[in-house]
Amino acid sequence: MRVGIHTRLRAGEVERYERYHKAVWPEVLAAMRGVGLTKYEIFRDGLELFHYIECEDYDRAIAALARDPDNIKWQAEMAPMMAVAHDYTGSSRDRMPVIFEL
């Protein structure tokens, strides 16, 4: 399954956000792999972030990450930088529908 997510940074947080993502905590990377994420890329356009994720079952994976202590700590670090954050509630308000495929 492929999933597109849209989030947004707060003004003035680009450098800090990119610095964190150049050195994502190993525990967070292990948790992401452990729940079945096989690919996760983030693209930035100004303050807009576009996340591309590949996994077997996104709903199951995101629910597991929402309970993972290392991911919870990581998200707490990210929260002050985000104007619109990744939705871990399962209601998927941040998902982007696929409108074209080649």
The yes-or-no verdict on residue 89 having pLDDT over 90 is: no
102: in domain? no
Evaluate whether residue 73 is within a structural domain.
yes
Structurally, the chain folds into a number of domains equal to 1
3-state secondary structure at position 47: coil
Tell me the residue range of the domain where 80 lies: 2-96
CATH code, domain carrying 68: 3.30.70.100
**Residue 101 covered by a domain:** no
What is the Cα 18 distance to its own chain's centre? 13
Residue reference for tokens 């450098």: 15
Do the domain assignments include residue 90? yes
Residue 29: other Cβ atoms inside 10 A: 14
Q: Which three-class secondary structure state does DSSP give residue 50?
A: strand
- Tell me what pLDDT residue 90 has: 67
**Which tokens sit at 61?**
């994976």
Q: What percent of the chain lies above the pLDDT cut of 70?
A: 97
Question: Does residue 11 sit within a domain?
Answer: yes
